[in-house]
Structure 1
């Protein structure tokens, strides 16, 4: 597109966001129109006028369909007649339309937030400022706050659960377009050369069009590690320390006599490289790579900041008088340059740099930055580096340079406090069945027990507790073991090496998938002992640097969670281990498998009930419980707004601390820029504060009645869900035919296989492809099915019972959040489009039998949801999402029709590479437009 093709008036949205009276979405609509027009011009230039005409006619028809002006059949038939090259162009065009609409939407959110700040609007719900206002209103006692926030911790844990289908290259171009729109907004009416700006925008969209959307090969684990680490430079290095500092200052200003937040409350975590449950690529080398790359990222940041700091702190001791401690630091630096003879700060900071470089060389084998010319002794601990930075801080303040101390120096010191030399904690995870098999082999090799698997639970616990009282290992180095056992032991040895090198914060937790018993926990303890991470003979009792976290996933496991935790703590040895970890015990809760097992409402209620039981056990045993929420991006996997989700937790379940997974495309949506990261991280911290210090549940003496009612509803919902998913003959066949589940396995979107093991059962399938497939077919079944039956059958036409539900919806955050999230899913469901996917089921009787159940339950669920909420339409409580759907969903229309057509061709035997590519491109485009699809 040449510069002359863009009308200057198109470059700036009408209703300028700088106008404080502008409360409309016209700037958003103008941005979408502009980006769409530029993309159209690029398509015309690159693919030809015929393709542009086809794309434009399809776009017009898609919007007419969304406005209910015409039916779908005509567009579907016309698209089905396209040749493969035309279809490929249409899929690519609408995928890019969706991506560009997302950009406009994200920028508009930022625009509105700036407007509110500029206008002095009250703090927005979910912000730190709003939560602090609520704490002020509550008039809390400082001793209570100190007690409740002891050990306060909020950890977003990035995981390698891949539903982010975009390539990194595409994300980079997307960021360039985002920056251009921000630049125009920030510059004001006359602050940019609009012709040059338009040319730059055109170049970026041209780059987007000529860049392949799909990867040529499957992501490797190393790629996933590196992809996650880039968000530190994009936002986390800036935002995480800032939030911690602001929070600590705000709380200490309110309660100066309470020793609050001695350590940072907000700390990052990761599973990528440590989560080997079902991922054969997570090996000992992967653990070393993950922890080493994390350390490299942290140390590179700290070293670069020290160089900048030394450049900035140019003060001469001919003009100021630094402290004796600062002079001592300068003298120890080894810097004898005559040019810095009167610049003690620069000499001191060069010495700090040299020591940190030596630390990097010890940890990494090289320096990720400028190689120093003088070698000093390394820092052993981050606290030593913090002490030196504190010396610089105190000296600056002593001669009136506090403003300088509060700038880059303060940010660096805060960053070292949070990220240390390790950057973030890497959790380990493995399935309990693997632990059982490996430990059984070790016990047999050592002659302790020939057939561990044959023992009952009581005998297993007795044997394991006996082993945990002995320091001696079960096997010697080099013992001949199976590939599985050797791989697991080597991986744990690598973990122990990295803990010794980087400190215990490098690997803080070991998560046990499918934990069903006390022996499942003790097996891990024995394996940790085997590599020296657990010491049963330490002075003062057994110690372990790694916390053991049972993960309860299925409905049955969640119902047994409290009983299992109580039994764990009844074991004197394990209780002593917990005591030596500060009486802290973490428990992880699985949202995905519980949903796949029992459906949306039953899973959510099982989680709530499990938390209540776990809190009671923790109180009875005098321990501090920390819950780790394994949430996915979609509502069917525990997704939805984090702030509301945390506030919807049961009383006592947050208790100042939580960890929460961040997965798939959600990571980019939350952390791609400082503004996004601040908003989302503040929401986590704010909700944690409110849930810990305020009465959020609000049920009072009526709580047990409400719980009993939900027990009944959950049982009804689970029955309806299981009747379809687990008991309907042919359901698995229907699911595999009516969704692109088989084709998803061909997408190069992650290192982990889509199934835990080979098989054709729903239970064998991982929750991510299960939910992802339903999303692609626009059925979204995991996010709602069964709830309509539960609500309708319980109300049974009784106005009084309906009023009870309406009252609970009004007063109870849990119930309100569950229904609100379900409403979001139902608004994204489109059963007319789903019917097109159902046509792919070859058996007409099976096709109609299953789909009729789905459509009947959908109608029932929407009707009952609106009856309970009192709304007249879906998303009445979420106008922002309603607007987003209006803007983005027309671009989905042709993608779905072409996906169905290509699936039909592929399954009829058409092996053309372009058919496969069209399917994959359509999956990419649908995921982009839906935004939280997996």
Structure 2
């Protein structure tokens, strides 16, 4: 597939950089060679015919109906192969962009000035003294979740990683011609393998598959990136990093819902939760063991040049008394190298911890840290400061961050499940689900006994309506284990508009609970509250939900000040813009004043995990950008500016929220809307993609209302139709209501001065840029309701026009060059897959039950492949 034409239509708008163009061209040529070898020149010719056709249609040089006619003429089997070709292309284009981004980051990091939005930049902007104060309480807490938003199979992701490695080899500087030729041959081999790898899952993931998938991010990047981030902060805080005790303290804490989130997922049981934490422990202990052994083998510091401290000599003597065989062997291998002997002994003890060899194992991470610090202090006393505070300090930071459990496993369950469980216990007849609720609490106690309280203590309650929903968890813990109940920090989750407004009253009720008061006393009056972005956006629309969530944050921050509580807001954001997604650093800076306070906790899910943490350089950059924003958002100056803007534009925000919500509800609450939505989108077929272990909807059958439908398939299905309705619908009506009263100037001022309003409009602009009106119209026509189609397209036209007026842009993403280029690179190829999907969807809808089974299976395969490909092209699914 020749890929250069993807930028042709927009070349006058955003020129593709030469390096990126070269990679896209080469990868496209190699894929074209593979396609021709596999399916013959005819297949490649058909792929090229469709590619050129959609580009011509985008240039308005060819009617869109001609594309549909072309696609309809192909046999379904041929259409399936073409869909596979475009899907593979997207994987390669995404890869080329990732590599270009990494090269750009490295080129910008010249050392002459801090990289924008880095930790060094934050310290420079805030000032070293204030930065040191903020760092003392700094917390960044990403929580990985298993929400089904990753459309790729793990095998496909692995194949892409291999292509990535070979692309890096090919582009490595100072390569000879022979090395470059071999790298190109290997690239072709890996692309051929990607082509031959089945794109669709044949079996549904179970929760432990999801746990193991997430572990790939830890193994590949997170474990290595964490000390790099701390080192970056340490260097920014003061000179001499690596030769002195660190000024940076560990501030990253990973959490996980994978294997713990049972809200609506009957496949997550108490047994799964137990196995999930064991899998995590296995991975982190292997990583710690390997790192300790690697550092130990390299620590060939002689006793003469760095004399061991008295504490280290005593520790080695005690170890020899307890484990003579192990220590004497190490002494024989490393004579006169006591620091090396000690670290190798530490590595042996970590291995014993993993094997559960209790004679040698560490009981807690604190015991391991104590042994590492004995070595560090001895090296420092002996004059080997670089060895004391270099790689060894990295290992200490890794232990402090990950412990023996890797990430805190959080449990989540619906409040109604707890209410039902208590009712059953009172009645004396306990169901299997209630038994599992009690068993889960027992597993939490077991995890705490094995790995410590920090490994699992948070219990999130979905749809918290009152303090009674929080009290129910503590009451159930008493039923499960009595006085031996585990330590629990129950986290209320507020999702609906009504619940967000009622949140402060619920928290006041929580303060009356003895169990909550006990935890507040034990934690320095720390309390955590979760805000749900997905369901609030599905209920209220994106604009109203954004503004209601901001109001809730303001109210909660005020409540915390009034009640002397150190509040942490846990942001349940999705990857897609319709579920609170978008650039995380901008989201932080748009938070209500006083609601950050140096702490930011957020969910990371599905494709977002691998987009942000799949490559070490990008993971480090993302982490630094978010932390930079957290530090700035916590300063008095930023909080004052944000508060002033919020006060000035509060009336405007209320008018936008009210009008946008009315518009959104007028559509989504209309009679027959859920059924219409199911007709115009691949909603029903998404479940066949087997994206995760969690069911796509509550209950069985077609959705009768949006309450029956989870937020992820709601957003995913709209993205497939190229409408992207959850990301923008209603904002146009909201802006129009303000303009009718006071004109454009107030809206433009709000965009310039208020980070929240700017973030809202920028995110809507991104969503609009991924919307294609002409193709969207063809999907909407499948529902046979011209009134709904006109309503949706009318709001789209209004929203697009007014967003451009308020921002002052002449086109969408005018100020976002990189993102604009990314969208333009993919648009024609997404168009191609959309036409293939439309063909399959229309045939399946028209054929109904009369379609022969074989024909239905072929059309379903085409549909699912196109869904997979569009998800890869748009780079977000839900």
TM-score norm. by structure 1 comes to 0.87
Aligned to 2:312: 326
Aligned to 2:802: 864
Distance 1:274 1:815, change over 3 A: same
Aligned to 1:930: 874
Q: Which residue among 441, 449, 452 is the counterpart of 1:500?
A: 449
| Structure 2 residue 799 is the aligned partner of structure 1 residue 805 | no
**CA shift at 1:484, angstroms?**
1.4
Q: Which moved further from structure 2: 26-35 or 766-775?
A: 26-35
Please state whether the residue corresponding to 1:27 is helix, strand or coil: helix
State the Cα deviation string for residues 32-88 of structure 1 (Å, max 9, x = none): 111111101111011111111111111111222233332211011110111011101
Aligned to 2:529: 587
| Structure 2 residue 266 is the aligned partner of structure 1 residue 283 | no
Distance 2:680 2:313 in 1: 73
Q: Which residue among 449, 458, 473 is the counterpart of 1:509?
A: 458
Q: Which residue among 203, 218, 231 is the counterpart of 2:189?
A: 203
Aligned to 2:815: 877
Aligned to 1:906: 844
State the Cα deviation string for residues 665-707 of structure 1 (Å, max 9, x = none): 1111111111011011112211111111243352555633412
Question: Quick check: 1:266–1:685 contact (8 Å CA) kept in 2?
Answer: no
Aligned to 1:766: 710
Question: Quick check: 1:79–1:894 contact (8 Å CA) kept in 2?
Answer: no
Question: Quick check: 1:240–1:267 contact (8 Å CA) kept in 2?
Answer: no
Aligned to 2:574: 632
State the Cα deviation string for residues 626-677 of structure 1 (Å, max 9, x = none): 0000000111000000000010000000111121001111111111111011
**CA shift at 1:188, angstroms?**
3.7
Aligned to 2:610: 668
Distance 2:39 2:862 in 1: 17
Aligned to 1:522: 471
Aligned to 1:452: none
Aligned to 1:559: 501
Please state whether the residue corresponding to 2:198 is helix, strand or coil: coil
State the Cα deviation string for residues 256-296 of structure 1 (Å, max 9, x = none): xxx99886211111100000000001111111111111111
Aligned to 2:826: 888
Distance 1:581 1:252 in 2: 31
Question: Quick check: 1:245–1:414 contact (8 Å CA) kept in 2?
Answer: no
Q: Which moved further from structure 2: 887-896 or 621-630?
A: 887-896
Q: Which residue among 77, 85, 98 is the counterpart of 1:85?
A: 77
Please state whether the residue corresponding to 1:933 is helix, strand or coil: coil
Please state whether the residue corresponding to 2:459 is helix, strand or coil: strand
Distance 1:319 1:879, change over 3 A: closer
Aligned to 2:653: 710
Please state whether the residue corresponding to 1:840 is helix, strand or coil: helix
**CA shift at 1:175, angstroms?**
1.5
| Structure 2 residue 599 is the aligned partner of structure 1 residue 613 | no
Please state whether the residue corresponding to 1:917 is helix, strand or coil: helix
Q: Which moved further from structure 2: 802-811 or 335-344?
A: 335-344
Question: Quick check: 1:600–1:784 contact (8 Å CA) kept in 2?
Answer: yes
**CA shift at 1:532, angstroms?**
4.6
Please state whether the residue corresponding to 1:51 is helix, strand or coil: helix
Aligned to 1:792: 736
State the Cα deviation string for residues 428-476 of structure 1 (Å, max 9, x = none): 100000011011222333xxxxxxxxxxxxxxxxxxxxxxxxxxxxxxx
Aligned to 2:257: 271
Please state whether the residue corresponding to 1:753 is helix, strand or coil: coil
Distance 1:690 1:191, change over 3 A: farther
Q: Which moved further from structure 2: 422-431 or 54-63?
A: 54-63
Q: How does 1:370-769 map to 2 (within 5 A)?
A: 376-445=359-428, 481-532=430-481, 545-571=487-513, 574-696=516-638, 698-699=641-642, 701=644, 703-726=646-669, 728-758=670-700, 759-769=703-713
Question: Quick check: 2:120–2:232 contact (8 Å CA) kept in 1?
Answer: no
| Structure 2 residue 98 is the aligned partner of structure 1 residue 109 | no
**CA shift at 1:190, angstroms?**
4.2
Q: Which moved further from structure 2: 769-778 or 754-763?
A: 754-763
Question: Quick check: 2:544–2:661 contact (8 Å CA) kept in 1?
Answer: yes
Distance 1:60 1:502, change over 3 A: same
Aligned to 2:344: 350
Aligned to 1:184: 170
Runs of 4+ residues over 6 Å off in structure 1:
259-262, 533-536
* 5+ residue gaps, structure 1: 11-22, 367-374, 446-479, 537-543
Question: Quick check: 1:98–1:928 contact (8 Å CA) kept in 2?
Answer: yes
Distance 1:514 1:815 in 2: 27
Please state whether the residue corresponding to 1:778 is helix, strand or coil: coil
Question: Quick check: 1:329–1:351 contact (8 Å CA) kept in 2?
Answer: no
Question: Quick check: 2:306–2:383 contact (8 Å CA) kept in 1?
Answer: no
State the Cα deviation string for residues 493-524 of structure 1 (Å, max 9, x = none): 11111111100111131111001111011111
**CA shift at 1:767, angstroms?**
0.2
Question: Quick check: 2:119–2:232 contact (8 Å CA) kept in 1?
Answer: no
| Structure 2 residue 133 is the aligned partner of structure 1 residue 133 | no
Distance 1:168 1:98 in 2: 16
Distance 1:127 1:246, change over 3 A: closer
Question: Quick check: 2:289–2:348 contact (8 Å CA) kept in 1?
Answer: no
Distance 1:529 1:86, change over 3 A: same
Question: Quick check: 1:592–1:638 contact (8 Å CA) kept in 2?
Answer: yes
Distance 1:272 1:261, change over 3 A: farther
Please state whether the residue corresponding to 1:40 is helix, strand or coil: helix
Aligned to 2:230: 244
Distance 1:622 1:924, change over 3 A: same
Please state whether the residue corresponding to 1:510 is helix, strand or coil: strand
* Higher-helix-fraction structure: 2
Distance 1:506 1:820, change over 3 A: same
Distance 1:784 1:752 in 2: 27
**CA shift at 1:248, angstroms?**
5.0
Distance 2:305 2:624 in 1: 42
Distance 1:551 1:722, change over 3 A: same
**CA shift at 1:535, angstroms?**
7.0
Distance 1:74 1:207, change over 3 A: same
| Structure 2 residue 54 is the aligned partner of structure 1 residue 62 | yes
State the Cα deviation string for residues 338-383 of structure 1 (Å, max 9, x = none): 3434332333223323332332233xxx7xxxxxxxx844322211
Distance 1:659 1:699, change over 3 A: closer
Distance 2:483 2:249 in 1: 24
Number of corresponding residues: 847
TM-score norm. by structure 2 comes to 0.93
Distance 2:267 2:599 in 1: 31
